[in-house]
Amino acid sequence: MEDLRYPIGRFQTPVLVNAEMRKKFINDIRHLPTLIELAVQHLDAHQLQTPYRPGGWTVAQVVHHLADSHINGFTRVKLALTENNPTIKPYDETAWAELPDVQHVPINVSITLLHALHTRWVAVLEHLEAKDWDRTFFHPGNNAQYTLSKHLANYSWHGLHHLAHIERLKEREGWL
């Protein structure tokens, strides 16, 4: 079950994030909406309602979750850039995945949102000064402080993690 839940492995917080790594992570964020769009473009309604693993979210829930999570991720960047170590508001991602918008809104709405959101997010990230990457926020749910560099690494992984859920499901089901 571990491989299905973490197809690219669990997130490992880098000890140090250098400029080259940040460039790669920013490109991961830049390209994720297109990669998600391509991954789901030929899936039918039944396939979109298939969980990526037993007990896991459906493909549609994963796509909507990416929009929800990345809205929060972008907001956390902006808070860290405009406030001194702000305490962010955690959210219950499982509960959000069960809300009516996830059940009744087509995934193309969340894909469009991801394209727009990631364009804005990349614009902010590409124009940060070196000192900005050390700005922090506090996550009370994890009782941890995060630098923007480590937050960037986490969201690079997060997008690729969920993309792999969809791609591995398609491979296992022969939906290629």
Question: What CATH number did the domain enclosing 118 receive?
Answer: 1.20.120.450
Q: In the prediction, which pLDDT does 176 show?
A: 83
| Per-chain mean pLDDT for the chain | 97
Arithmetic mean of pLDDT, 119-140:
98
Query: Within a domain: residue 18?
Result: no
| pLDDT tens per residue, range 46-55 | 999 999 999 9
Query: Within a domain: residue 114?
Result: yes
Is 176 strand, coil or helix?
A: coil
Nearest to 25 by CA among 153, 150, 131, 160: 153
Query: Within a domain: residue 126?
Result: yes
Q: In the prediction, which pLDDT does 2 show?
A: 61
Query: Within a domain: residue 10?
Result: no
* Total domain count, the chain: 1
Query: Within a domain: residue 99?
Result: yes
Query: Within a domain: residue 117?
Result: yes
| pLDDT tens per residue, range 64-114 | 999 999 999 999 999 999 999 999 999 999 999 999 999 999 999 999 999
Q: For residue 54, with 0-12 CB atoms within 10 Å meaning exposed, 13-18 middle and 19 or more buried, which class applies?
A: exposed
Query: Within a domain: residue 93?
Result: yes
Can you list the alpha helix ranges (DSSP code H) found in the chain? 2-5, 19-40, 45-48, 59-82, 93-96, 100-104, 107-126, 148-173
The parent domain of residue 114 ranges over 23-173
Cα–Cα distance, 121 to 114 (Å, whole number): 10
Q: In the prediction, which pLDDT does 49 show?
A: 98
Arithmetic mean of pLDDT, 129-144:
97
Q: Is pLDDT at 140 greater than 60 in this prediction?
A: yes
Query: Within a domain: residue 89?
Result: yes
